[in-house]
Amino acid sequence: MTDAAADDRTAYVAIEGGRVVEARSRAPGRARGELVFTTAYTGYEESLTDPSYEEQILTFSYPLIGNYGVREERFESERVHPRGVVARELTDDVADWLTEEGVPAVDHLDTRDLVTGIREEGAMECGIAAGPDATPEVAREELERCVAMSDHTDIGEQVSVPGRETHNPDGDGPRVGLIDCGAKGSIVSSLLERDAVVDVVPYDATVADIERTDPDLLFISNGPGDPENFEAAAALVDEYVGSLPIAGICLGQQVVANALGGSTEKMEFGHRGVNQPVRDLRTNRVVMTTQNHGYTVAEPGDRLEVTQVNVNDDTPEGLESDDLDVITRQYHPEANPGPNDSLDFFDDVLELAGYETERGATGAPKTT
């Protein structure tokens, strides 16, 4: 390898606190964002296209990423959302995909050390410089330009649909108004498999927008960033609570809690992976779940009951109100990737709108 070729493969990761790690460039470019990790060892295509990773640098704790190729039918959205990707080893298939997407990626560094640092110190900001002209100074410049997640006040606009999209208009199930704060495609697919009519509307939809769809159910999706920045979605919850059933997943749970008198807070390093144990307080049953969030409900308020908790840290994983017809989950019942232990959440949601489903559905092909 020539010196020029060697330089083209050089990369640096500058981490909050002053450390700069040398790595190998697999997709060139510069990136900055919050450094987080996922423990999932499969489902890298789904993770990389999950809108909840917007404005973050995603580190894979599993050492080899890409060992079964890249297939578009597994994507959860139309593009890669992390600003940068870090792994111990990336296959050429994934590296080529990220290069085409314009997302910088690096490997050949000790990801165990990075993950340990995040667990001990919390999620950190970082900057990446990869490929030609990469230097430690350039990586530090990117780090200095980082913006805290709570300050990304317009992050919903980056991941939401620009206008209303209607799926399965002739369906026999209830009409669902899905507030798209960064929804995974599998959430839509899980509703469509149960023959719901799904109107996906922007994250900043107004009451007038919802009135035009005339839904039987309001559903707040997952998404990236601080739930307090999704004021329009919270306003819809406040407007319709008690008159329409309301459901939420991940960020959706946090938005619902904020709207109904609760509060949220940033976690030390979040939950990201496919093996998070959740206990139902009513049945004492434990299920394994897929999760991807850096914020959590700190207090549910007086109107919501905590029905499920994380076994590892007791954070709320399910909120419900029988009187108000509200049901939310902090984890991702639709999985993709991950276990299918909680798919019946979608049956519970549609039953709130008076629709009986055939339980046991396993998920339809994704819509993007």
Annotated binding site, which residues? 52, 223, 225, 251, 254, 292, 294-295
332 and 338 Cβ atoms separated by less than 8 Å: yes
Residue 338 makes CB contacts below 8 A (sequence gap 6+) with 40, 43, 274, 288, 289, 290, 332
CA distance 117 to 112: 9
- The rounded distance, in Å, linking the Cα atoms of 105 and 172 is 45
Q: Which residues are catalytic?
A: 250, 332, 334
Are the C-beta atoms of 352 and 219 separated by less than 8 Å? Answer: no
CA dist 292 and 82 (Å) reads: 13
Cβ 31 vs Cβ 135: under 8 Å:
no
Paired with 57 in beta bridges are 35, 84
3-state secondary structure of 62: coil
CA Rg, the chain, in Å? Answer: 20
Q: Which amino acid is at 85?
A: V
Interior angle at CA 201, CA 199 and CA 205, nearest 5: 135
Burial per residue of 226-263, b for 16 or more beta-carbon CB atoms within 10 angstroms, e otherwise: bbbbbbbbbbbbeebbeebbbbbbbbbbbbbbbbbebe
For residues 170 and 39, give the distance between their C-alpha atoms in angstroms, rounded to a whole number: 40
User: What single DSSP character describes residue 96?
Assistant: H
